[in-house]
Amino acid sequence: MKTAWKIAIIVTALGLILITIAVFTGASRLVYWDTNGPHVINSDYENEKRITELDLEPFENIEIRADFLDVETITSDRYGIDVCYFEGDLTWSLNKGNLIIDFKPKKNIHFFNFSFGSVELQNYIKVYLPKDAELGTFFAKTDMGKIEAGEIRANEVQIINSFGDLDIYSITCNRLQIEMDAGGFSAKNLSVTGDIKYKNNFGASRFETVSATNFVLNSDAGEVSVNGCSAQSIDAKSGFGSSRFDNTNANSFVLNSDAGEVTINGCQAKSIEIKSNFGRINAKNLVSAKTDIKSDAGEIDVAGEFLGQTVIKSEFGNISFATEKAKEDYTYDIYAGFGSVTLDNNFDNNRVRNSAYGGNSAENSLSITSSAGDIQIYFTK
């Protein structure tokens, strides 16, 4: 143990000496430590490796495997690549329309980095595509690095990013699959004729203007925001974090939330099912032909046009329900275990003890229950 401490002290001292030299002489701008000890880099270009091919033959399939490199697609008038990296081994090939880029980083681990002046280590892969290019597959995988992919037309798009942000935009494809361990995600203008499968273990997830046949969204921890989505079916799961869906239309809409506020605004569905273990459910301007909303702990506040069967249940929390239809248009069964029930038809308030029954509609029914909490029902005139 004493020997290990001596080595650590010596390495640190050497590093401090190098930093001091770098500061006062101006000759060195970057100092870093790895498993081999301290290193000094004098300029942006020292030890930099570069591959630039901006007039390649057309390629139909792209496969990128690169850890610790940023990946970006750029719209151009030709096919090409631009690669810049600092440490590691990179191979690439273009054969029969298949572009393959494989980067393996140096195994040494960087412990500390100190930068002086303007030195920045650039590690990236840029792929240039004509705007009208049509790809078979686009595949990109990196363990740590930012990915920005846009203006892509392909049969299948698959992106795997363990640690790092991911931004995609203007993608038209038949299938889209996204897998992330930790990092922020942003998507805009996605047109997918088949399925979208999205998984993020930790990080904010934002979708804007999305169309698909089936949209599967799974977020273990992080804020979820979806605006302007259209799909035949939406299956969303949120572990820890708020979930918000605006202006979303689907035949089948299922949302499960473990902990976090759920917000639904301006959405339409033939069938909607919302389940929350812990957190407030707030739905406004919701139009649904079949509604099932349940909360274990949290208030429920919903308003809109509800047809067919509507079931709302809260184990612990108040319920506020407002519908654009009249009381006569429903058969209703309202029950509050520990709380009161209030019926409001815009003419008068009618508070009953803890239950209310009525109506004879064969088309529309309300079943609203709170085990512990008050219930307020608002009908239209």
Work out the mean pLDDT of the chain and round it to a whole number.
Answer: 88
Q: For 327, phi and psi rounded to 5 degrees?
A: -60, -35
**Helix boundaries (H) for 259-316:** none
Strands 37-41 and 30-34: antiparallel
Q: pLDDT tens digits, residue range 330-340?
A: 999 999 988 89
Q: pLDDT tens digits, residue range 248-301?
A: 999 999 999 999 999 999 999 999 999 999 999 999 999 999 999 999 999 999
The predicted pLDDT at position 43 comes to 47
Q: How confident is the model at residue 204 (pLDDT cuts 50, 70, 90)?
A: very high
* Beta-carbon count within 10 A of 280 CB: 17
Cα distance between residue 332 and residue 287, in whole Å: 18
- Whether the per-residue pLDDT at 118 is higher than 80: the answer is no
Q: What does 303-320 look like in DSSP terms, one character per residue?
A: EEEEEEEEEEEESSS-EE
Closest CA to 318 of 336, 291, 304: 336
